[in-house]
Amino acid sequence: MISIKIDQKKEKALNHLHGLFVEAWTSLQDVSPSELDYLHRFAFISTIGASTRIENALLTDHEIEWIDTTLKEDSQATSFEAKKEFIVDKLLKDRERSLEEVAGCREVLGSVYTQYKDLFPLTEASIRGLHHDLLRYYPAAGGYAGSYKKSPNRVISINHSTKEERVVLEPASPGIITETAMSDLVGWYNETLREHPRPLLVAIEFVFRFLAIHPFQDGNGRLGRALFLLALLQSDDKYLAGITPYLAIDRHIEKNRANYYSVLHRTSEGKFFPHPGNYDFVPLVEFFLKVFEDSLSDIDLYRKRYADMLELSASAATVFEAFRNNPKERLQVAELVQNTSLPRRTIQYVLKTLTEKGFLQRLGKGAGSRYQLAF
């Protein structure tokens, strides 16, 4: 049984959304494995970037793509520690905390996408293990990674223009209240996910109740969004579970970040309730209906991007790779001549092509123009 109550209008909207899931899933059935890999990688990178930036990390999606490529060269569990100094030097020291958050989020999402079947039924130990992995690269978290909170932890929203802080949520108190709430939540989830006809609603209630408890000292937002993906993947709805690996849901949460925090506050009135029936889930359901529709629209956009990429000439591919190897740089024609050894006229033509196809963004006009990656 779920605590979310929906009217006929929401029922109709959910039916419409499920129809979109079916259409999107069906459209990918004859797609090549390489294109599916491309679409999933976009969702993976974009989700890491958005989920960490929602929590004020600084790295762009292209910087994260470069980090992911660098770490993939060595698939060992110690690859991040081995290459951390090189990556930090490349991306500047002031982004080190962001890098640690990205590395942890990458590890957790990798586990969610590849091990979701093994993680059902869900256990508190699995959740604590994912939390440990989320913070494993952040040295300051050594004392609390993987353990429930021992002191209160309010959810704060900061207006970066005015620096004004607002309490979004007073979560569950540490100790027995948090421990009981988590035990109840995990038991409810395992009983409900595959029995309820609307697994999407189960996932929405699950992640909100997790966020309302806020069981860990740090990292609850990132972990909560990862658990949301896990719930979608673990559902028995083959269309919802099948399309989830290709959805960058957090990308659209990030785009609507202020509204996201507002909706969280409205759903709970800023307080944790032991009984979920006290929450008003309607604003949250409305928010996610829009987020999912927007996420589904990305699939066609990136299928076109993939087709355009296959049509790039050898020269265009060389120039594009130069940008991908320098994800934070804004490059000029002269720098690209030096990096690629291609003729200046060829590079000018290629830059025009890459900009028109949406791979690059042009900054400035005339000879002083610079170009950067567009994601």
Residue 158: HSE in the Cβ half-sphere, 13 Å Cα cutoff: 6
Residue 341 has pLDDT above 90, yes or no: yes
| Alpha-carbon distance values, 64 to 104, 110, 220, 290 (Å) | 12, 14, 21, 26
CB 341 within 8 A of CB 321: no
Query: Cα(171)–Cα(155) distance, rounded to whole angstroms?
Result: 8
Give one DSSP letter per residue of 118-144, joined into a string. Answer: TT-S--HHHHHHHHHHHHTT-GGGTTT
Residue 77 has pLDDT above 70, yes or no: no
Q: How would you class 159 by CB atoms within 10 Å of its CB: exposed for 0-12, middle for 13-18, buried for 19 or more?
A: exposed
Query: Cα(150)–Cα(175) distance, rounded to whole angstroms?
Result: 7
Q: Average the pLDDT over 164-181 and give the result.
A: 91
CB 151 within 8 A of CB 174: yes
Q: For residue 124, which of 81, 66, 185 has the smallest C-alpha distance? A: 185
Q: Which residue has the higher pLDDT, 83 or 295?
A: 295
Count how many residues are written for the chain: 375
Can you state the angle between helices 314-324 and 61-72, rounded to 10 degrees? 100
Q: What is the pLDDT of residues 287-334, one digit of tens each?
A: 999 999 999 999 999 999 999 999 999 999 999 999 988 877 889 999
Q: What is the pLDDT of residues 304-314, one digit of tens each?
A: 999 999 999 99
Which helix (H) or strand (E) is 158 found in, with range?
strand 155-158
CB 4 within 8 A of CB 204: yes
Could you tell me the domains of the chain?
Answer: 8-308 (1.10.3290.10), 312-373 (1.10.10.10)
Whole-angstrom distance between the N-terminal and C-terminal Cα of the chain? 41
- Residue 283, number of CB atoms within 10 A of its CB: 15
Task: Judge if pTM exceeds 0.75.
Answer: yes
Q: What angle do CA 292, 298, 302 make, to 5 degrees?
A: 155
